[in-house]
Structure 1
């Protein structure tokens, strides 16, 4: 195996690709910094939109339907009943909380912001419960309240997980946005010539007279490729975690992640989400590497292997976008596990969305490929 590693590591193409992968971690972290700057502005715009639903500007004389405070007044400009007075008080309290929430956002006082936001959301929900008009700028109040309550009970500062810069949140970002399709591309580019080079350089003639069985030779290739790729993947995740933690802190592994099951939403801790993602991703990597090496064994031409491999892996994804009906079977085919985010976070509530079912499906496909390899070796013996 040391011999296989030395051959792979001395290939200039592989060194260049590994260097680019390492560089991409730092580029991703820098990209998150820019996204965080945009997020601050987005929070301001969101709070302003809620305020603009409530409070008309000074001297406004347009339709009362545009502002919730004006909707409470009768034709004489007065509050007709105690219900309207209660709704008015709630709306005014919300306006003051919007200002406090924006200030907490600017000062980066995240726990304070979560507390203020929770109070504001409770008032918005109370307004709806009393018969107030639906909010145009706030549609997921119940989900946000559940999430904020989770955070406050555990004293975890609120962040937008998709652009979190802390260590654990950056790992979440890498797994969800950076790793998915890149894994297939990197496997293809790093290993499309790993086996075919033995045929193209006619090394197989030398191997044929060595006291090493064909089965052992291919198994050694597969184990080395799997070790290199999974080791490299873990190295990149650890590097991203360490660099992000140095600059922004580690974050929390019990931060809540929203899981959608039909019309319901539940929260699971971040560590469980990462565990599920990494488990499925490792099985997908194992399947993909085995499939690529099997193609290499059959075709024996590096460029043909790379082209056919990428077509077979990506075409089903494109078909899924064009034919929504195929989504009914995508949970059962390995190619659709390239993007794991919707598999784990966006379950539809049916049996195929179960993590254990997804785990069993990928294990089954790995076993199917193992059987294909075994049958191929038997044919050669005959």
Structure 2
């Protein structure tokens, strides 16, 4: 019986709507009835249910994917057999944009490096359990947007994957996406896989990885839009052209080198292990972070530096106000006068009371006459005083007794 919306698988998975289909199977969005988390339900088409080989490969795919633990590979929850719908794979539902839809626009080198590192990390985990995908292409990759806007690339379809046994023999897994001898998608298929679908190794997946990233950045396939015959001839006879990033910086040049190595025509010249390619992509991611940090620091320094002043003549400084002259010094107080005793009388006789004593002031009060010394001035003053005293004595003593006659 064919699955349809509303169907319930093994009593606990409710089918909601179809989200993908291939030549031999379909993928549906569903929900776990008990806890409510979303799941992807992968079923075999009705015409394949009666084919024991298809059913057996489907079982092996489920058993193999159950051993894979990877952040970049869709996780299997359960492999069940429903009495009405047959064998069913219950997978982790990864919600996001299909990588092929993102390729309607060119991606930057930086975005391609981030996405490429995620996908190759998934290949490291796949190859670690001896699985070669064989049909790695953009429509088998989901870009899930996580918290903070960061994308996580997840490999979600393993329809024609193969298991590499220890002795080198390859077992084909379920072919749910394509029927036919040439399994895979020609644009992303490695040259050796075109010659012999059984002649695949991990290097074949890395070629497809390089072809996807070339398409993402260049906006076209490695050899352009050729028909199948022309494309087959080009892949088998020609080396891949260089990736035209349109940039000349160190990051772009290094990315071009990584893609060129992944797309080598001869498997021996490619990356031999997914770990090698992952190491180069992670190192380039670190380089991108350093470049971005340097650019951010430079922009911050430019914002902190004030813009230069316009080119103009040096401005004249404003005039300085004139300082008023200092006031003249205040006159210094004269020292106290020294009293000068009156000279003794030079003529005996009754003397009258002397005139009031005189005081000599400072030189500034009695400036010397021009041409006279200070000493001469003092002498002149004393002489004048003496003459004044003598004259006063004669006038006052004029009425006295005459001098006695001599004997």
**TM-score band (shorter)?**
under 0.3
Q: Which has the higher contact order (CA 8 A, sep 6+)?
A: 1
**Structure having the larger proportion of residues in helix:** 1
Could you say which structure has the higher strand fraction? 2
Rg larger for: 2
Normalising by the residue count of structure 1, what TM-score does the alignment of the two structures yield? Answer: 0.26
TM-score after normalising by structure 2: 0.25
